[in-house]
Amino acid sequence: MRAAPPGAAALAGYLVLRNPCDAVVEVVDVESLDFGAPMIHRTEEIDGISRMREAGRLVLAPGESLAFEPGGLHLMLMKPLRPLSEGDVVRIRLVLADGRRLYAEYPVRREAPVP
Ligand SMILES: [Cu+2]
């Protein structure tokens, strides 16, 4: 998660999803105890203008991985429920199509990863 100035309306988050299973995995939503409105966004350039929209379902074939990185897929974590600064940890759950949830804790860092 990339640190934002105090009072910011949203933080952006980056990660790599890997599917080591023999079955297709489908991510349909994101939940968080630390944000009022977490979303998964995709940045796209259309006619030279960069826009973000909801990513919709993310389908990972067996063995596939998917990078969330600046300029592409990202967690768009709106409405922080507590002050979050560098060194803090945020709690995120990815919701799968079959109802399972993947919980992980992510550090807040100053810099985004370099794609
Ligand atoms: Cu976004």
Amino acid, res. 80: P
What distances in angstroms separate CA 95 from CA 17, 67, 77, 81, one per listed residue? 13, 17, 15, 20
All residues at 6 or more sequence positions from 80 whose CB lies less than 8 Å from its CB, including other chains? 8, 10, 11, 34, 35, 36
Q: What is the pLDDT of residues 32-53, one digit of tens each?
A: 999 999 999 999 988 999 999 9
What's the 30 CA to ligand 1 centre distance in angstroms? 13
Amino acid, res. 67: A
| pLDDT averaged per 10 residues in sequence order, the chain, 115 residues | 92 95 96 98 92 95 96 96 94 97 95 73
Q: Is the pTM of this model over 0.85?
A: yes
Q: What is the pLDDT of residues 20-33, one digit of tens each?
A: 999 999 999 999 99
Q: Which two tokens stand for residue 82?
A: 């507590």
Question: Domains in the chain, ordered, with CATH?
Answer: 10-107 (2.60.40.1890)
Write down the mean pLDDT value for the chain: 94
What's the 18 CA to ligand 1 centre distance in angstroms? 21
